[in-house]
Structure 1
Amino acid sequence: MTVLWVEPSYWNTVLNFLAQQYFTDSHATCILWNPSFDFLLETVEPLPLIIIDSQRWFNDGQDVYDYEGKRDEFEEKGIGYNDWILRLTVAIEASHCETFLVFQEQIPKFASSFYHSSMYSIWRSLRNRFIFVYTEELIEENDNYLLGYILQDQPNILLVTSKYLNSSIFDIKTNRFVGPRNFDTNPGLVDFDLLQRYDAENDEIIWDVGTKSALSVKMRNLKGREVVIGIFDYKPFMLLDYERKPFFYDRSENTTEVAIDGTEIRLMLTFCELYNCTIQVDTSEKTDWGDIYPNGSGYGLVGMVLDRRNDYGVGGMYLWYEAYQYMDMTHFLGRSGVTCLVPAPNRLISWTLLLRPFQTALWMCVMLCLLLESLALCVTRRWEHYADSPFNSWMDSLRFGCISTLKLFVSQGTSYVTSSYALRTVLVASYMIDIILTTVYSGGLAAILTLPTLEEAADSRQRLFDHKLIWTGTSQAWITTIDERSADPVLLGLMEHYRVYDASLISAYSHTEQMGFVVERMQFGHLGNTELIENDALERLKLMVDDIYFAFTVAFVPRLWPHLNAYNDFILAWHSSGLDKFWEWKIAADYMNAHRQNRIVASQRPNLDIGPVQLGIDNFIGLILLWCFGMICSLLTFAIELWKGQEQSVL
């Protein structure tokens, strides 16, 4: 009789032990199946499981999910992918996997693909946990499973190892995470610390430092772990200073001679004081926030965050949907309004100055009144009758009515003598009406010459649209926030008139061109992005009274940024304490010109206290034109009279 000896496998015991502790509160657990490990998860509480078997990916008809839709989406956007990225993306997106169990040779493949999968997935989680399992017995020469960005960047990682496949003693380790990140000298090196030695055969812990406490303490004390901030000078959100202290290490210049500050930078500085992390900066991007391409790549500050060269991107960044698709964002840091410095209105001086005292409707009434006066005088003169004279002709009466009306309107007398009480009454009534009209007109004209009349400025959202004024900034990011699908017609029209120019060109245009220049109105009244406009150009500009649009500012961080939960809680506490207002005022006072800020804000209201103004030819050009028109008409009339007189003498 043959006896079969079955070697016991204790993987089931140890993995159930760990799963019961770390996986039960997750949405779902993804298991990358490996047939070399004999186990079956059995937990007290129900545990949703998704089995991913990489050896059956290419078997036709074995998939329970149609991957073609996601594959077509990747190809349409130009996203580079492989089967691991595709399968993990679908698992995260469709199954909401938050915990992962990975074995042996699949560990490096998973580690290199998981970040891309989490970035391409529309679903994300801040509670990811990982258990990596391998036995030294199956390790081949030159194999190194403990490489990959995820092993350096995620705190909740457990590593379960054994010497042999059928061992009963297991070492449970975790990645160190805290302390220097080693991305300069050994970027692939990951240190693991032993947390626990577990005897599965006897179901007892041989040696334990407190697994749960060891994992949770990582986030409370980072022990100098570096946080890299991408920054350029953009007051008051973020600013660079090469004179003040303390200095920080600049990765792009390899120096420690740069100081940083700002309303949004100070948040991270204070956060690192609380959690014992080290700030490093990257000044390689000098002027632009950048943008995201559909294939998941980018440029500028957001591109550096996307490439994980930086951990923290700020600077008045708005809620950009394109960036949110591939990165995470923090709670709101503040409110920012996009507005413009537009050309200030000039004093209205033109030949139409004489017409300004009356509006168009009132001028029409004045013309109608003069017409009625002329008709009344004409009819009265036509039927005027003396005992010794016949009736006047209609032509003479019409001429008398028109000439007398014009004379009365300009307060001139007439040589005509009448003894008719009817005509006298009409003349007196017309004179009284004309006296009232000329008095009101004179008062209005005096007011216009005394108080300046200004042109309509494009100093509101609607007027900027009506004037079709070009407005400009240094980046396309100023209109990236606008959602064209839900924007109103005015905002869409303003987008069509937006232009992108470099800083030097904007500075030159501010002295001469009739255009608007983008500035940023912060939550508590201060203005950003004004340094491009020189002081002597501010005289011809004024601040708009409202915003073109407003948005909430956030910080962009990489997907799976491990500090996001703690940082969001810190932001809420910061807002609740009122420090957001205090820091804005403090930083504006320390680094910005208060007189310049007040001058720009005051430009919203016109300053009518301009004192005596020397009058020029423009003030009287209307009067001169009217005088010239009268003289020309008089000369023509005189020439016609001479011509008619010569004809009569000849006859």
Structure 2
Amino acid sequence: MKRQCTFRVPLRHSRMKITYAISTETDFEAYAWDTFFLAPMDAGCLAFIVQTSDLKLTVRTFARLAHSPRATHRANRMYLILPSVELPENIFEANIRELYRMRQMGFMPDLVIAKFVTEHNRMHGESSTVESRSEEHIQVELITHRFVGPDPTERLSLDIWTPKKGFLRDANLYPDKVTNLMGKEVTLTAIFYPPYSAVYPDAEPPIYDGLEFRIMYEWAKANNLTWRVLYKPNDWWGEILRNGSGWGLSGHVSMDMADVAFGAIYLWENEHRYTDYSGVELSPLYGGHFWPIVPAPDEPELIRQLKPASDNGADSKPAPPILILKHSSVYFQASLTIVHPRPKLLPGWTVVTSPFNPEMWIAVGASVAMATLALHVTSQSSMKLLGEGKPVVNMYSTWVECAFRTMGLLVLQVPPDERDFSTLRHVPMRHLVTWLILFYFVVTTGYSAGLASVLTLPRYEKPIDTPRDMSERNSKWGAMDECFVFFLRESMDPTMRSLANNFVLGTEEYFAERTKTGEIGFAIEKLQNGHFALPTYINEDSMRYLRIMKEDYVTAHCVFMLRKGSPFMASINSVIRKLRDRGVVLYWEDMAVRKYMNSRDQLAVAGSRYDVDNGPTQLLLRHTTVSTILQKREVEAIKQDSRPTWSVQA
């Protein structure tokens, strides 16, 4: 949808006529003349004097530009609006009343409007241009809205200015309206996510409690305000679209449906382009990413590292600016981790291989090959060099015989040299066999000790303890909102990108059906004081089948989300810092967990890495299957004529 408009903007003491078109379908609403205002706003200009014939359009314009993703400087600004046409008293006052009822005035406390008053206007009720008035008849009334109290739209006259006498009242044109809000109603939006926020709107009276609600209570006491809660149970953290609309907590703030949003909100990059976070001071640097998790290092050194090599040249172009967390006074640190299905018992056939690890089995196999080679070479050399030079058929005369003799040594079957008179008793051969007997006796003893431990302790699959383990095993995991994977989508780490590709978005019922099947892992949040924010399907019963991961995959800070340039930012930050420095936030975490969560569920998650000792394991048939087979073969070999049945005659 395209809309054509024409208006006049005073710029550098001249008038410019600009025709502009806007697109409101997919991208954020933008005008061709936004550059004129965005440049001084991003440069840190905190006061604007604007002459306009359309008050509503001007207010909407500045509110939109402060909210725009193109604006980087965030501040509460002061405005002085000068009308370019003098209107009759009744029309001007009607426009003022409509203007003060606009939603944008709820976050623009420092807006002053100049009203031109002349004797000619008062007598005849006619309109005239500013240029047509004589200087001695001009009076300028400076008016604003109350902003505070139960009726924030009330019109207030601040002062009157005349060319000869100046300000008649010497009033402060921009008084502090935020420190004492005098009962002004502020809209909060939250989700049911204990211990951060516990929302029970249907209770009598409704219950709004939790860690972050307690902070809001303290803010309400400190600044004398009232509040209401915007709660939509089917919305979670939500998302902000490119045009500034959205849903969930972030969408409510972006669309000015709420003043403050909270509920374990992290420093999300996309949402930060449209909103602002409490307790964070940001600094523009070079590069192309937003680093929300760790404080930035030394800024000059970081600039030198991020500047491209071409910056030293005359024709180099500066890299696009980024926003890096410079000074953080956030109140809380949390992390995200995953509970995976518990490792399964290894099958019974693995008992025979469990005493040695794969590297040890490779070494044993290599020793068998080398021993076979040594027996065959020594046997042939002994007969040629030490014997009569005639080939004699014996137990080491062929490769197959040597291989089976070596395998016999591995299971402590000593060759019967003393009873086999066909074997030449040459010294090198006897020495070699004796040393091999000692070597394989040590190997077999170690295997027997390992086998004893395997038969008495259960053996499990290797657990998933790190994000790298998840990536290597292509492990599926999920949550009920994509905020659990926001940090991973644009990560440069291939491990994190693999985690993002394996993420599954589902409903509470979908995950509840799969907690005991071992198909998927589930994301949970770990709080600073060691507690967990758990969905309903993660409880003591389901944790019998799940196990928490050893490492977290994301560690970040929790913040409150406000509108960009919100006038409430400074007062909220002041309250947050005081509560954080006194340790009250951690106490409220413990209180909220005890009051609104199940302590047994918390213990089940925290202790899921430690298996319960059920006593000694009973010896079952599956434990002895392989050992019985080997013992049977050994008995059969003894019954034969001093040779195992698996020996090969040359």
TM-score bracket for this pair, using the shorter chain length:
0.7 to 0.9
| Residue number in structure 1 paired with 2:175 | 215
Deviations 1:599-641 (A, max 9, x none): 212223x43734122344443344466579999999xx9xxx9
Q: Cα–Cα, structure 1 residues 625 and 330, in superposed 2: closer, same or farther, change >3 Å?
A: farther
Rg larger in 1 or in 2? Answer: 1
Aligned match of 1:131: 80
Give the secondary-structure state (helix, strand or coil) at the position aligned to 1:355: coil
Residue of structure 2 in register with 1:225 after alignment? 184
After TM superposition, give the deviation of residue 109 of structure 1 in Å: 1.8
* Structure 1 unaligned regions, length at least 5: 1-30, 35-48, 59-66, 183-189, 245-255, 642-651
Q: Is the 8 A contact 2:238 2:251 kept in 1?
A: yes
CA distance in 2 between partners of 1:582 and 1:52 (Å): 60
Q: Is structure 2 residue 461 aligned with structure 1 residue 455?
A: yes
Give the SS at the match of 2:513: helix
Matched residue SS, 1:309? coil
Q: Mean alpha-carbon deviation: is it higher for 521-530 or for 495-504?
A: 521-530
Question: Is residue 357 of structure 1 aligned with residue 370 of structure 2?
Answer: no
Identity of aligned residues (%): 22
Which structure has the higher relative contact order (CA within 8 Å, separation 6+)?
2
Query: Structure 1 96/400 Cα, relative in aligned 2: closer, same or farther at 3 Å?
Result: closer
Q: 1:375–1:83: structure 2 CA closer, same or farther, 3 Å change rule?
A: closer
Query: Which residue of structure 2 aligns with residue 159 of structure 1?
Result: 113
1:51 is displaced (CA, Å) by 5.6
How far 1:97 sits from its partner (Å)? Answer: 4.3
Q: Which moved more, 1:548-557 or 1:589-598?
A: 589-598
Paired residue secondary structure (1:534): coil
1:274 to partner: Cα distance: 0.8
SS in 1 for 2:206: strand
RMSD across aligned C-alpha pairs, in angstroms? 4.0
> After superposition, what is the alpha-carbon deviation per residue over 1:209-253, rounded to whole angstroms, capped at 9, x for unaligned?
x425x712x212111111111122112221113698xxxxxxxxx
CA distance in 2, matches of 1:349, 1:373: 37
Q: Is the 8 A contact 1:418 1:424 kept in 2?
A: no
Q: Which residue number in structure 2 is paired with residue 284 of structure 1?
A: 232
Mapped partners of 2:248, 2:391: distance in 1? 94
Give the alignment of 1:116-515 within 5 angstroms.
116-120=64-68, 121-134=70-83, 138-139=87-88, 142=91, 144-146=94-96, 147=99, 148-164=102-118, 167-180=137-150, 190-203=153-166, 205=168, 207=169, 210-211=171-172, 215-216=175-176, 218-241=177-200, 257-331=205-279, 332-358=330-356, 359-368=360-369, 371=372, 375=376, 392-393=392-393, 397-398=397-398, 407=408, 409-411=410-412, 417=419, 420=425, 429-482=435-488, 484=490, 486-515=491-520
Change (3 A) 1:83 1:385: closer
Normalised to the residue count of structure 2, the TM-score between the two structures is: 0.74
Cα gap change, 1:259/1:52 in structure 2, threshold over 3 Å: closer, same or farther? farther
Alignment of 1:42-57 (within 5 A): 53=15, 56-57=17-18
Residue type at the aligned position of 1:417:
R
Distance in structure 1 (CA, Å) of the matches to 2:14 and 2:263 = 41
Cα offsets for 1:113-133 (capped at 9, x unmatched): 321122124233424112234
Would the aligned equivalents of 1:330 and 1:568 in 2 still touch at CA under 8 Å? yes
Cα 1:168–1:538 change in 2 (3 A) is same
SS in 1 for 2:514: helix
TM-score normalized by the length of structure 1: 0.74
Secondary structure in 2 aligned to 1:511? Answer: coil
In structure 2, the residue matched to 1:41 is: none
> What does 1:530-549 correspond to in 2, within 5 Å?
530-549=535-554
Contact preservation (8 Å) 1:88, 1:114: no
Q: 1:175 to 1:52 in 2, by over 3 A?
A: farther
How many Å apart are 1:163 and its aligned residue? 3.1
Q: Measured at CA, do residues 591 and 461 of structure 1 come closer, stay the same or move farther in structure 2, by a change above 3 Å?
A: same
**CA gap 1:459/1:429 in 2 versus in 1, 3 angstroms:** closer
CA contact (8 A) 2:526 2:533 kept: yes
Per the TM alignment, residue 511 of structure 1 is displaced from its structure 2 partner at its CA by 1.1
1:527-606 aligned within 5 A = 527-604=532-609, 606=610
Contact preservation (8 Å) 2:117, 2:138:
no
Q: Distance in 1 between matches of 2:396 and 2:463?
A: 52
Correspondent of 2:611 among 588, 607, 613: 607
Task: Give 1:14's aligned residue.
Answer: none
Structure 1 residues 595 and 541 mapped into 2: Cα distance closer, same or farther (>3 Å)? same
Whole-Å separation in 1 of the counterparts to 2:438 and 2:397: 21
Consecutive unaligned residues of structure 2, counting only runs of 5 or more, are: 1-6, 119-132, 280-329, 646-650
Over 3 Å counting, the alpha-carbon distance change for 1:224 and 1:366 in structure 2 is same
Alignment size in residue pairs: 554
- Residues 114 and 434 of structure 1, relative CA distance in 2, 3 Å threshold: closer
